[in-house]
């Protein structure tokens, strides 16, 4: 059985992207063979597609860390042919052929049954990026954040994680301040629920100081670097920042002073290896009390338009969520 897939191959001239026909027999071993209906575009997918060795080391390779579709066959008693499922994280799209192919084969403990209230398309509007945003908010609330804690800062606010974080926080009645380098996207962010804005330069001011004025009741940081630690230095007493990205930088200048003088917390967020039971619980919330209409964030993509979108996300030109329809024509 053949299927279409977006493939990245390492050539002498560099990493080359193309649409190829693959055979199901060439997929890795696994419990579930899945007919992928939708995927999404994340920054990590773009890194994989350009040969970043921190994401993918073996080529040729099909990226796509997200997939939603229907089980075609199952060797696991927990799933049956016809089940609608979501797969995000673990090794999908990194070392294992990912969601930019019309078929994937994966272990059963990578998959979550589609919650009632979501479908293949709406779940991929969320995808890893939106799931990570929800994980950030959940972890911040478990650490004590409430709307009464004060305004919440979201960095990288027009990106996939940031835009969903803004919308979810606004839905939960938080006052959201968005950091963005795109001044022309303020109306977009305001429509999502942001009430105020900061430039990257403003968010970076005071990097040389050990502490800054207390301001934030919580932080969702998607960029890393000095912007992240500036936000930590600006947390109100006892409040927390969730760190989930590094597009600005993986390193920052830091001191212990915010932690020992203001009792603040820096929370790490990992959606890749999060246990499947915890993933299922967050997906359930995203289908019920945290359910959002994310159609205003969606940019519809196909396998054929994916390469150009990858270039745009790497250049910081994507806004919102790229949703890939695996069966759509160019």
SS3 for the chain is CEEEEEEEEEECCEEEEEEEEEEHHHCCCCCEEEEEEEEEECHHHHHHHCCCCCCCCCCCECCCCEEEEEEEEECCCCCCCCCEEEEECCCECCCECCCCECEEEECHHHEEECCCCCCHHHHHHHHHHHHHHHHHHHHHHHCCCCHHHCCEEECCCCCHHHHHHHHHHHHCCCCEEEECCCHHHHHHHHHHCEEEEECHHHHHCCCCCCCCCCCEEEEEECCEHHHHHHHHHCEEEEEEEEECCCCCECCCCCCCHHHHHHCCEEEECCCCCCCHHHHHHHHHHHHCCCCCCCHHHEEEEECCCHHHHHHHHHCCCCCCEEEEECCCCC
pLDDT of residue 247: 80
**Residue-range domains of the chain with CATH:** 2-114+294-325 (3.90.180.10), 127-268 (3.40.50.720)
pTM of the model: 0.94
Tokens of 185: 């996207």
For 101-141, the pLDDT digits (tens) are 999 999 999 999 999 999 999 999 999 999 999 999 999 99
Is there a contact between 59 and 98 (Cβ–Cβ < 8 Å)? no
Structure tokens at 119: 């479908």
Residue 246, pLDDT score: 85
Would you state the pLDDT for residue 82?
98
Which pLDDT score is estimated for 330?
61
The pLDDT, as a whole number, for residue 133 is 97
Q: What is the pLDDT of residue 259?
A: 97
Q: Which parts of the chain register pLDDT below 70?
A: 330
20-53: per-residue pLDDT in tens?
Answer: 999 999 999 999 999 999 999 999 999 999 999 9
């Amino acid at each position: 059985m053949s299927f279409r897939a977006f493939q990245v191959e390492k050539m002498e001239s560099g990493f080359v992207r193309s649409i190829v026909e693959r055979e199901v027999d060439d997929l890795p071993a696994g419990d579930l063979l899945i007919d992928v209906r939708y995927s999404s575009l994340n920054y990590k997918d773009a890194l994989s597609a350009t040969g970043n060795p921190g994401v993918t080391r073996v080529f040729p390779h099909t990226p796509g860390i997200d997939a939603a579709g229907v089980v075609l066959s199952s060797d696991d008693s927990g799933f049956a042919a016809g089940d609608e499922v979501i797969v995000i994280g673990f090794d999908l799209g990194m070392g294992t052929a990912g969601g930019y192919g019309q078929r994937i084969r994966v272990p059963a403990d990578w998959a979550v049954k589609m919650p009632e209230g979501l479908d293949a398309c709406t779940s991929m509007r969320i995808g890893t990026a939106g799931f990570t945003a929800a994980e950030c908010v959940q972890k911040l609330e478990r650490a004590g954040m409430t709307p009464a804690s004060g305004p919440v800062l979201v960095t990288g606010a027009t990106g996939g994680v940031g835009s969903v974080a803004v919308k979810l926080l606004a839905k939960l009645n938080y006052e959201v301040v968005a950091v963005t380098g795109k001044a022309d996207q303020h109306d977009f962010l305001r429509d999502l629920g942001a009430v105020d804005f900061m430039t990257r330069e403003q968010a970076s001011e005071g990097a040389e100081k050990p502490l800054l004025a207390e301001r934030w009741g919580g932080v969702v940081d998607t960029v890393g670097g000095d912007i992240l630690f500036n936000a930590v230095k600006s947390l109100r007493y006892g409040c927390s920042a969730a760190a989930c990205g590094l597009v600005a930088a993986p390193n920052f200048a830091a001191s212990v002073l915010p932690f020992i003088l203001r009792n603040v917390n820096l929370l790490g967020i990992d959606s890749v290896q999060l246990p499947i039971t915890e993933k299922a619980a967050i997906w359930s919330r995203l289908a019920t009390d945290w359910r959002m209409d994310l159609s205003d964030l969606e940019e519809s993509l196909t396998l054929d338009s994916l390469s150009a979108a990858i270039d745009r996300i790497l250049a910081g030109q994507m806004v919102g969520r790229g949703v890939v329809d695996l069966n759509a024509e160019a």
